Structure 1
Amino acid sequence: MSIFKGAAVAIITPFQENGEINYPKLAEILDDQIANHTDAIVICGTTGESSTLTHEEHLEAIRFTIEHVAGRVPVIAGTGSNCTETAIYLSTEAEKYGADALLIVTPYYNKATQKGLIAHYTAIAESVNLPIIMYNVPSRTGCNILPETAAHLVKNVKNIVGIKEASGNISQVAKLMRLTDGQIELYSGNDDQVVPILSLGGLGVISVLSNVAPRQTHDMVMKFLEGDVAGSREIQLKALPLVDALFCEVNPIPVKAAMNMLGWEAGPLRMPLTEMEPEHKEKLKKAMIDFGIEVK
Structure 2
Amino acid sequence: MADLKGINLAMQTPFNDNGSINFGVYEELIDRYVDAGVHGLVLGAGTGQHPYLTEDECNKLYEIGAKRIAARCKVICQTSALNMDEVIRRSKHAESVGADALMILPPYFEGPSEDDGLFEFYREIDAAIGIDIVGYNIPQATGISVSTDLLKRLVELKNFNYIKDSAGDLTTHQEYLRVTQGVLNGADTTTVYALMAGTKGVIWGGANYMPHEAVKLYELVTQKKYSEALELWHRMLPSLLVIWRTKYTPSVLRASQLRGYGTGKVRRPLQKLNDQEDKELQRALEPLKV
Question: How far apart, in 1, do the equivalents of 2:261 and 2:181 lie?
Answer: 36
Q: Secondary structure at the match of 1:105?
A: coil
SS in 1 for 2:104: strand
Q: Tell me, what secondary structure is at the counterpart of 2:62?
A: helix
Please give the alpha-carbon distance, in whole angstroms, between the structure 2 residues aligned to 1:118 and 1:86: 18
Cα distance in 2 for partners of 1:267, 1:218 equals 22
Structure 2 residue aligned with 1:132:
133
1:41 aligns with 2:41: yes
Contact 1:111/1:142 (CA < 8 Å) preserved in 2? no
User: Aligned partners of 1:59, 1:200: CA distance in 2, in Å?
Assistant: 36
| Aligned residues between the structures | 289
Measured after TM superposition, the shift of residue 15 of structure 1 is 0.8
Partner of 2:120: 119
Deviation at 1:50, TM superposition (A): 0.6
Counterpart of 2:77 in structure 1 is 77
For residue 265 of structure 1, report the CA deviation from its aligned partner. 4.6
Using the TM superposition, give the Cα deviation of residue 165 of structure 1 relative to its aligned residue in structure 2, in angstroms.
0.6
Task: Return structure 1 stretches of 4+ with deviation > 4 angstroms.
Answer: none
CA contact (8 A) 1:192 1:236 kept: no
Q: Which moved more, 1:252-261 or 1:50-59?
A: 252-261
Trace 1:95-110 onto structure 2 (pairs within 5 A): 95-110=95-110
2:62 corresponds to which letter in structure 1?
A: I
Contact 2:186 2:202 in 1 (8 A): yes
List aligned pairs for 1:143-182, cutoff 5 A.
143-154=144-155, 156-178=156-178, 180=179
Deviations 1:140-172 (A, max 9, x none): 111111111112111x20211111111112111
What is the TM-score of this pair, normalised by structure 1? 0.93
> What does 1:1-296 align with in structure 2 at a 5 Å threshold?
2-112=2-112, 113-154=114-155, 156-178=156-178, 180=179, 183-292=180-289
Give 1:109's aligned amino acid: F
Q: 1:111 touches 1:143 (CA, 8 Å); kept in 2?
A: no
Unaligned runs of 5+ in 2: none
SS in 1 for 2:232: helix
How far has the Cα of 1:2 moved from its partner?
A: 4.9
Alpha-carbon deviation of 1:108? Answer: 1.8
- Give distance in 1, aligned partners of 2:28 and 2:239: 24
One-letter code aligned to 2:84: T
The 10-residue stretch of structure 1 (242-251 or 129-138) with the greater mean CA deviation from structure 2: 242-251
Q: AA paired with 2:188?
A: D
- Bigger shift: residues 75-84 or 142-151: 75-84
2:137 is aligned with what amino acid? N
Contact 2:239-2:285 at 8 Å conserved across structures: yes
8 Å CA contact retained: 1:192, 1:240: yes
Q: 1:262 and 1:219 mapped to 2: Cα distance?
A: 17
Query: Is contact 1:133-1:161 (8 Å) kept?
Result: yes
Look up the SS of the partner of 1:162 in the other structure: strand
Pick closer, same or farther for the CA change 1:39–1:289 going to 2, 3 Å: same
Q: 8 Å contact 1:15–1:266 — kept in the other structure? A: yes
Could you tell which deviates more after superposition, 203-212 or 266-275?
266-275
Do the aligned residues in 2 keep the contact of 1:186 with 1:201 (CA within 8 Å)? no
Once superposed, what is the RMSD of the aligned Cα atoms?
Answer: 1.6
Cα distance in 2 for partners of 1:158, 1:229 equals 36
Partners of 1:121 and 1:237 in 2: how far apart?
A: 38
Structure 2 length as normaliser, TM-score?
0.95
Report the CA distance between 1:256 and its aligned residue. 1.3
CA distance in 2, matches of 1:265, 1:236: 23
State the alpha-carbon separation in 2 of the partners of residues 280 and 45 from structure 1.
Answer: 23
* Matched position secondary structure for 1:21: coil
CA distance, structure 1, for counterparts of residue 150 and residue 228 of structure 2 = 35
The answer to whether the 8 A contact 1:136-1:166 is kept is yes
1:199-246 deviations in whole A, cap 9, x for unaligned? 332112111121011111111122112222222222223321110122
Cα–Cα, structure 1 residues 235 and 245, in superposed 2: closer, same or farther, change >3 Å?
Answer: same
CA contact (8 A) 2:209 2:261 kept: no
44-53 or 169-178, which deviates more: 169-178
Letter in 2 for 1:114: D
